[in-house]
Amino acid sequence: MNVAARYAALRAEIPESVTIVGVAKGQPVARVREAVSAGLGEIGENYVQEARAAFAALPPVRRHFIGHVQRNKARAIVELFDVVQSVDRLEAGLALAEAARRTGKLLPVLVQLNISPGERFGCRPEEAERLAERLRSEASLRVEGVMAIGPPSASRGEIEAAFEIAAKTFARIGGSTLSLGMSGDWREAVRAGSTMVRIGTMLFGERGQ
Ligand SMILES: *Cc1c(COP(=O)(O)O)cnc(C)c1O
């Protein structure tokens, strides 16, 4: 199957109310362009350098930063992206807030939760509400909800338990967006209430080829 056919198949299977973000990290731009031509309107990138090159070669799409936010990259992230899904600590959020203020932007952000023992980043679910509240006092940010990465190679039961924590935390924080689910676990994510799935390999194929 080519990328356009994979996009059509995914779009047919994933409920209409759930946004598909195509995760472009490690993918040839030609594949990403093919998906955009087929109707994909949202692209996720983990790396600033790669995003700069990829976005220059794409028609306008909504651009999501889903990588680790380093404070010294805040300015570049704010200039390149429309949404930052991966705010997992106050310093990162404040650096983005300042960069957004300076560029005159109102930046939509999600609080990234850690719901998986193997995951390096993400704030603890118990601390997420406080972080969201603090970020909501920044006039240049708009906290729209929560993002989380499910536990890799876990049992279905473990994935469901982790996603339930994400959904409950999202309910407490409020907003429009629960960004949950990737190629291997989007079905569980949609069942848990995800409003946005982030799909890389299942849409574009294996990375780095
Ligand atoms: C790589 C990545 C994805 C996509 O992963 P696939 O398994 O290829 O679908 C989604 N979200 C984040 C944060 C990622 O880093």
| CA 101 – ligand 1 centroid, Å | 29
Q: Is 180 within the bounds of a domain?
A: yes
Whether 148 maps to a domain, the answer reads: yes
What average pLDDT score do residues 92-120 get? 96
Asked whether residue 196 is domain-assigned, the answer is yes
Write out pLDDT tens, residues 147-168: 999 999 789 999 999 999 999 9
| Angle at which helices 156-173 and 125-136 cross, to 10° | 30
Does the beta carbon of 25 lie inside 6 Å of ligand 1? yes
CB distance 64 to ligand 1 below 6 Å = no
Q: What is the pLDDT of residue 153?
A: 79
Number of the ligand 1 atom closest to the C-alpha atom of 201: 8
Query: Is residue 76, in this structure, part of any structural domain at all?
Result: yes
Q: What is the pTM of this model?
A: 0.97
CA of 102 to the centre of ligand 1 (A): 30
Domain count across the chain: 1
Q: Which amino acid is at 105?
A: K
Residue 155 covered by a domain: yes
Q: What is the CATH number of the domain that holds 17?
A: 3.20.20.10
Rounded average pLDDT over 193-207: 97
Q: What is the pLDDT of residues 24-69, one digit of tens each?
A: 999 999 999 999 999 999 999 999 999 999 999 899 999 999 999 9
- C-beta of 54 in contact with ligand 1 (< 6 A): no
Residue 164 structural domain: 3-204
Q: Which two tokens stand for residue 20?
A: 């598909």
Which H, E and C letters describe 136-181, residue by residue? HCCCCEEEEEEEECCCCCCCHHHHHHHHHHHHHHHHHHCCCEEEEC
Rounded to the nearest integer, the mean pLDDT of the chain is: 96
29 in a structural domain: yes
The reply to whether 73 falls in a domain is yes
Pocket flag, ligand 1, residue 205 (CB < 6 Å): no
Residue 87 pLDDT > 80: yes
Cβ count near 142 (within 10 Å): 16
Does some domain include residue 209? no
